[in-house]
Amino acid sequence: MKVRTRSSAIIGTICLVASLALTTASADQPAAPRQAAAKVALKNVATAQNPTAGAAGPGGTVWIAERPGTVRVLDDQGLGEPVLDISAETTTDGERGLLGIAFDKEFAHFYISFTNLEGTSTVDEFAMRDGKIQPDTRRTVLTQTQPYSNHNGGDIKFGPDGYLYIALGDGGAGGDPHGNGQNLDTLLGKLLRIDPSGGEPYAIPPDNPFVDDPNAKDEIWAYGLRNPWRFSFDADTGDLLIGDVGQNDWEEIDWAPGNSKGGENYGWSQMEGTHPFRGGTEPANHVPPVHEYDRTNLGCSVTGGYVYRGNAIPDLKGQYVFSDYCDGTVRSLQMENGKVTGVNDLGVNGGEVISFVQGGSGELYVLAIGGSVSRIDPA
């Protein structure tokens, strides 16, 4: 799932142990000025079984994925009974399980991202009718075999362009032993972009950056990623932000503008953040992270979030909210034109933060692997 190898210390399963206090260390702007942070609070709204991901659903609901293979709907009454159960089709060994869910813009289709019993990354589609999953319409959209049980990635999102983006890690183990991050002939270590409704099982958008390259996979949108556990699009600008889990020393947040044509190389495994990895050479087309932090304190595995576009906390608007699995402190980046201008500690701790969810109104929820589902509210 999302944990890194610090002696690969913290992984056996995603249910590891930790939750404390991270460093807001340096990015490419090592001394970003600290500005007054928004005043927020975490309000626990539900308890789930190892929640891993979520998505804004029809009718103002929020759908929550649980790692063992169930999906439940959060509304004003809390979490309901599972509306989908694939627990017989997945496993929670290593970093496997149900890892991502997404709806298309019309809520006409629901997508799940999981590892099957063989460990293969799988994206399946269901048709929706009257806000309900239609089980008999299920079909498999994309699969990718995984050489190891970690670094599966697994996040899925529809972009502003209506295409489905899929994050896949480098295949696992440690140090990218197969060189997948920089290899354009594999889907591993990549962010993919496909059109699931345009073909069977999917179509390739004609403006994908490598469609005319015989040595590259047409599905690739961006590459050089280690374990892009969580990514998102800014609901206002379309900017892409990726939390890419580091190896030994550096956690990073990558960025691309909403008008990007794709093809960004985020550097792994030649680079870890802005630093050569094990004597690596920085690629000429390397796109450095907008923010990185080291492991001086207790951070170990970045959990990417969202640019806040809700209305409940005006002082937080436009800031990118994120956390770290081992530290749990919720933080935000103030940004202008792809540059970090401020790093804020929001003064709340979500525990072992595994994911964020953006509701339909733009408000944000924090998921902790231990079970808590919390909303970020004004203090």
- Would residue 146 count as lying in a domain? yes
In a domain, 2, yes or no: no
d(CA 105, CA 123): 17
Q: Is residue 362 part of a domain?
A: yes
The number of C-alpha atoms within 13 Å of 302 and in the hemisphere containing its C-beta is: 37
- The one-character DSSP state at 187 is S
Provide the total of helices (H) and of strands (E) in the chain, helices listed first. Answer: 0, 27
The residue written with tokens 């939390």 in the block is 243
**What CATH number should be reported for the domain holding residue 93?**
2.120.10.30
CA atoms within 13 A on the CB side of 16: 23
Q: What is the count of structural domains for the chain?
A: 1
The answer to whether 268 and 176 are in contact (CB under 8 A) is: yes
For 331-371, the pLDDT digits (tens) are: 999 999 999 999 999 999 999 999 999 999 999 999 999 99
Q: Which residues contact 40 (CB under 8 A, 6 or more apart)?
A: 313, 316, 330, 346, 347, 348, 376, 377, 378, 379
10 lies in some domain: no
Structural domain containing residue 205: 40-378
Residue 216 token pair: 């590259």
pLDDT at residue 76, as a whole number: 84
Q: For 167-197, write each residue's pLDDT tens digit.
A: 999 999 999 999 999 999 999 999 999 999 9
Q: Tell whether the torsion through CA atoms of 32, 34, 35 and 38 is positive or negative.
A: positive
Residue 8 belongs to some domain of the structure: no
pTM summary value: 0.92
